[in-house]
């Protein structure tokens, strides 16, 4: 399926990245459907032109927005669905959707993570649960903090789809004066890289919490990108340059940012918080927490050498001492 000119677009999700994507897309479309989970938030946006919870500084032109609070209504007349619901809630959010809800739609995955229990990426989930053909799946990849999009700070996105015409269409759709875009055919690699980088950011946070310094961090990240390359090259062996922005850039912006939820979560673990108390304290869930479990399970099939992922897994799920685990890891890094 080749995306038709002037396809109608819907955004499903109302967190910070969804709010940033809506801001981006409103530069390029006349009408945009937007799924807002809570009726009170929907009314707030309609009346006050701001999302009450995320990127509050962004003002929306509501004459261009069609707001809904069911996914079914949001996607009904749309051709391209940008799906931005965190993986931990993706299955719950879509459980009321019928098998036909996403029929003949082009799905763009924008929030990266592994769906818990079933251990699937967002693309895999739509492909298996809703029978969306691979050719109708796309991925939008960072490096991109939503907060900087709100400030219109120059950022770069990579849009991936198997058909180059579709990737180019999406690249145009997301291109604005403050967003430069490129297209790629690597939906598998970009989606997995975006998931893996969250694990690496948790590792980076743990290291920081344990008192390791900048010298160690740079070695950790240079090992991390090699670990990511080993995994994605095994899972989907095509020619790719892992040093491109969609892979390495995305890792850097996440692992080196003080604002990264995954890094903050890791930092608390490194400082001795339990997983539960870290999550309570943060009042949010770090994607990397689910990602590491999912990748660990998926890697049982592939058996890729993943010392950093294994280390984070053992610390978070087997409650092995972070001090001990990082001492062992530091002997493996080079």
45 or 58: whose CB is closer to its own copies?
58
Residue-wise DSSP of 34-72: EE-SSHHHHHHHHHHSS-SSS-TTPPP-GGGEEEESSHH
Of 14, 186, 191, 250, the one binding its own copies by CB under 8 A: 250
Site for its own copies contains 57 (CB under 8 A): no
Taking the least distance from each CB to its own copies, the nearer of 120 and 141 is: 141
Q: 3-state DSSP call for residue 23?
A: helix
- Token representation of residue 103: 């029929």
- Complex with its own copies: residue 132 or 308, whichever CB lies closer: 308
* Of residues 198, 218, 202, the one with CA closest to residue 268: 202
**Contact criterion met (CB below 8 Å) for 138 and 108:** yes
Closest approach of Cβ 140 to its own copies, in Å?
Answer: 14
- Cα–Cα distances (Å) from 124 to 114, 132, 237, in that order, read 10, 9, 17
Provide the minimum distance between the beta carbon of 144 and its own copies in the complex, in angstroms, as a whole number: 5
Size of the site for its own copies (CB under 8 A): 45
Rule CB under 8 A: choose which of 16, 141, 244, 299 binds its own copies: 244
245 binds its own copies (CB under 8 A): yes
Residue 176 DSSP code: B
Task: Name the DSSP class of 247.
Answer: I
Nearest CB to its own copies, comparing residues 89 and 216: 216
**What are residue 123's DSSP bridge partners?**
none
Stretch that binds its own copies, among 39-47, 167-175, 210-218, 264-272 (CB under 8 A): 210-218
Question: Does 222 contact its own copies by CB under 8 A?
Answer: yes
Side-chain-side CA neighbours of 183 within 13 Å: the count stands at 17
Site membership for its own copies, residue 68 (CB under 8 A): no
Q: Which of 229, 240, 261, 263 binds its own copies (CB under 8 A)?
A: 229
Give the bridge partners for 34, in sequence order: 11, 67
Residues interacting with its own copies, by CB under 8 A?
142-145, 148-149, 151, 153-156, 180, 182, 211-219, 221-223, 225-226, 229, 241-245, 247-250, 252-253, 256-257, 330-331, 333-334
């Amino acid at each position: 399926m080749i995306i038709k000119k002037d396809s109608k677009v819907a955004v499903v999700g109302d967190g910070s990245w969804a709010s940033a994507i809506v801001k981006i897309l409103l530069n390029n479309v006349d009408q945009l459907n937007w799924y807002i989970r809570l009726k009170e938030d929907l009314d707030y946006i309609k009346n006050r032109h701001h999302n009450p919870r995320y990127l509050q500084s962004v003002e929306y032109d509501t004459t261009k927005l069609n707001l809904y609070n069911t996914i079914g209504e949001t996607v009904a007349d749309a051709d391209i669905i940008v799906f931005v619901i965190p993986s931990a809630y993706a299955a719950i959010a879509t459980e009321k959707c019928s098998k036909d809800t996403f029929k003949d739609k082009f799905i763009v995955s924008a929030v990266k993570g592994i769906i818990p229990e079933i251990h699937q990426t967002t693309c895999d989930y739509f492909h298996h649960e809703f029978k969306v053909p691979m050719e109708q799946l796309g991925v939008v990849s960072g490096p991109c903090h939503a907060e900087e999009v709100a400030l219109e700070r120059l950022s770069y996105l990579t849009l991936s789809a198997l058909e180059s015409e579709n990737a180019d269409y999406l690249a145009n759709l997301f291109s604005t004066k403050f967003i430069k875009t490129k297209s790629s055919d690597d939906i598998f690699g970009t989606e997995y890289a975006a998931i893996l980088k969250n694990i690496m950011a948790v590792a980076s946070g743990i290291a920081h919490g344990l008192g390791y310094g900048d010298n160690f961090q740079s070695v950790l990240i240079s090992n991390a990108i090699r670990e990511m390359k080993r995994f994605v090259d095994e899972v989907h062996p095509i020619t790719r340059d892992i040093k491109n922005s969609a892979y390495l850039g995305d890792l850097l912006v996440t692992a080196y940012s003080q604002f990264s939820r995954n890094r903050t979560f890791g930092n608390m673990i490194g400082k001795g918080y339990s997983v539960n108390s870290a999550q309570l304290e943060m009042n949010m869930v770090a994607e990397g927490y689910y990602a590491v479990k999912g990748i660990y399970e998926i890697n049982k099939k592939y058996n890729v050498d993943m010392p950093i992922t294994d280390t984070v897994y053992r610390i978070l799920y087997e409650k092995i001492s972070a001090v001990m685990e990082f001492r062992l890891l530091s002997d493996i890094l080079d």
